[in-house]
Copies of this chain bind each other. A is one copy, B any other.
Amino acid sequence: MPPRAYDQLAGHVRETFLLTSTSALLSWDQETGMPPAAGQVRAEQLALLARLAHARATDPRVGDWLLACEQDRALRDDPGAVANVRELRRDFDRATRLPPALVAELAEVASLAQQQWAQARAAADFARFRPWLERMLQLQQQQADCLAVTGQCRFDALADLYERGMNLSGLQTLFAPLRQRLVALRQRLLAGKAPHRAFAKQAVAEGRQEAFVRAVLAAFGFDPQRGRLDRSAHPFCTSTGGDVRLTTRFRTDNVLDALGSTMHEGGHGLYEQGLPLRHLGTPLGEAVSLGIHESQSRLWENHVGRSRGFWQWARPLARQHLGEVVDGFSATELWREQNCVEPGLIRVEADECTYDLHVMVRFEIETALLHGQLAVADLPACWNAKYRDHLGVTVPDDARGCLQDVHWSCGLFGYFPTYTLGNLYAAQLFAAAARQLGDLDAAFARGEFAPLRQWLQQQVHAHGRRYPPGELCERATGAPLSPEPFLHYLEQKLVAVYEL
């Protein structure tokens, strides 16, 4: 008996997975330890692997196997196989819309532009990055034009890569009221008692900070047998096939920065480690969307790591690793400081009340760039104006302005809104978990994080791409995505923090 089309398809995608996970390792190395002069060859290696992976993804045999699977009645009794075929059909139809030359060029320019971005950011020199961003934007516009189906604008075509079904008008509908409520909350807090920001400024050596964040990561349940934590300029999480790589960074002027970054990337890492191993290399073994991915990082960073219970547990641990600098601060003071609201310049340092305003600035700008309503040359001025309007802050230089994020340099346009979707999913999932598991804050105070991690593993991680993100949310929480759980959670917490 010849192998079934489904088995051939599964074997084929397994090898594609081996190539893309190899690319992930090359990129991880580029960001963590690659010597500077290796950049040109690394870009060529990544471009070649991207071309090979794309050739495999668009191999006409995949189309034949998919047709055969779709007509195979025996397969219909296996819901996992049905879901895999459905998702592989989606991937195949999308991949076959992109010319191989464009895919290779995107990978190569992304690798080089990312290196240029890092240098431009270090020098606060937008002019240095500008030609690379112009080239990348052009490639993204080409990509969007290739991908767009009837009724989709360029933004919609790209955003759909990261969050199925996300589109411009849907986001605009969601963001307008969210902005109003967040701005109103911020106003309300002005009447409250602002926390002191004294602890974060304590000078603590990097080695001590590292020991502390590693202890927190271990308590959350990140498995070092299947993952690592390293350092990079911009923290990230990537899966290199058999294991999960996190990075963080250490600042001597903000001891809470590494903690937040590590809990955030750790949340991503727990999702990757929670995916079902037996489906590795097929859609059922992959994360479903970036919004859901971000929900896991924000949940551990904010709903866990900025909770009162977390600090009751973490304070002695912080004392042990960070030393005497902790002595002047109670758990409540640390919790209040960690939840201080203050509009700032940097997205990844933003509090929960202003974070989504940073996202909205980027969303408006990338939409305008993609649709030709804004030239790259005018980006810094536009960025700075929006920061004045939306956040009321003045951008002193482009390093703390439009050069702060890596995303556009590596071709991630239409990606930023998934951060806000992640915040909304996180709040809705956390509320559902709390309904089933009882008082989570009390559990955190005892250092018990396993019940929450296991609930997330069963409700979210274990399903991979079995259900689309919206359906996954409904199954886990009993309701479609809504901004209400997020706003309710935030208003409750911040009113307490500000002692209103």
Let me know if A49 is at the binding interface, CB within 8 A.
Answer: yes
Interchain CB contact (< 8 A) of A225 among B15, B36, B225, B241: B36
Q: Do A227 and B19 have beta carbons less than 8 Å apart? A: no
In angstroms, Cα B26 to Cα A311, docked, is 40
- Of all chain B residues, the one with the shortest Cβ separation from A35 is B243
**How far, in whole Å, are A40 and B33 apart by their CA atoms in the complex?**
24
A35 touches B241 (CB 8 A): no
> Is A48 at the interface (CB under 8 A from chain B)?
yes
A467 to B150, CA, bound (A): 62
**Max chain B Cβ within 10 angstroms of own Cβ: one of A35, A44, A241:** A35
Tell me, rounded to whole Å, the shortest Cβ–Cβ distance linking A83 to chain B: 22
- CB-CB under 8 A from A45, the residues of chain B are 18, 21-22, 241
Task: Write out the residue numbers on chain B whose beta carbons fall within 8 Å of the beta carbon of A38.
Answer: 226, 240-243
The reply to whether A37 and B241 form a contact with Cβ atoms under 8 Å apart is no
A280, CB-defined interface residue at 8 Å: yes
Which residues of chain A from 227 to 270 have a CB within 8 Å of any chain B CB?
227-228, 230, 240-243
The reply on A52 being an interface residue by CB < 8 A is: yes
> Nearest Cβ distance between residue A323 and chain B, in whole angstroms?
20
Task: Give min CB distance, A483 to chain B, whole Å.
Answer: 38
Complex: how many Å from CA A19 to CA B41? Answer: 11
Interface residues of A in 18-47 (CB under 8 A from B): 18-19, 21-22, 25-26, 29, 33-42, 44-45
Contact with B along A438-460 (1 / 0, CB 8 A): 00000000000000000000000
Pairwise interchain contact A19-B48, C-beta atoms closer than 8 A: yes
In this assembly, does A478 line the interface, its C-beta being within 8 Å of a C-beta of chain B?
no
Residue of B48, B223, B230 touching A18 (CB-CB under 8 A) = B48
**B18 A25 Cβ-Cβ under 8 A:** no
| A316 neighbours in B (Cβ, 8 Å) | none
Encoded as 1 (CB less than 8 Å from any B CB) or 0, chain A from 49 to 83 comes to 10010000000000000000000000000000000
20 contacts between A and B (CB under 8 A): A15-B48, A18-B44, A18-B48, A22-B26, A22-B45, A25-B25, A25-B29, A34-B243, A35-B225, A35-B226, A35-B228, A35-B242, A37-B226, A38-B240, A38-B242, A39-B242, A41-B242, A41-B243, A42-B242, A45-B241
**A37-B226, A40-B242 given; 9 more Cβ-contact pairs under 8 Å:** A18-B48, A22-B26, A22-B45, A25-B29, A33-B230, A35-B243, A38-B241, A41-B242, A41-B280
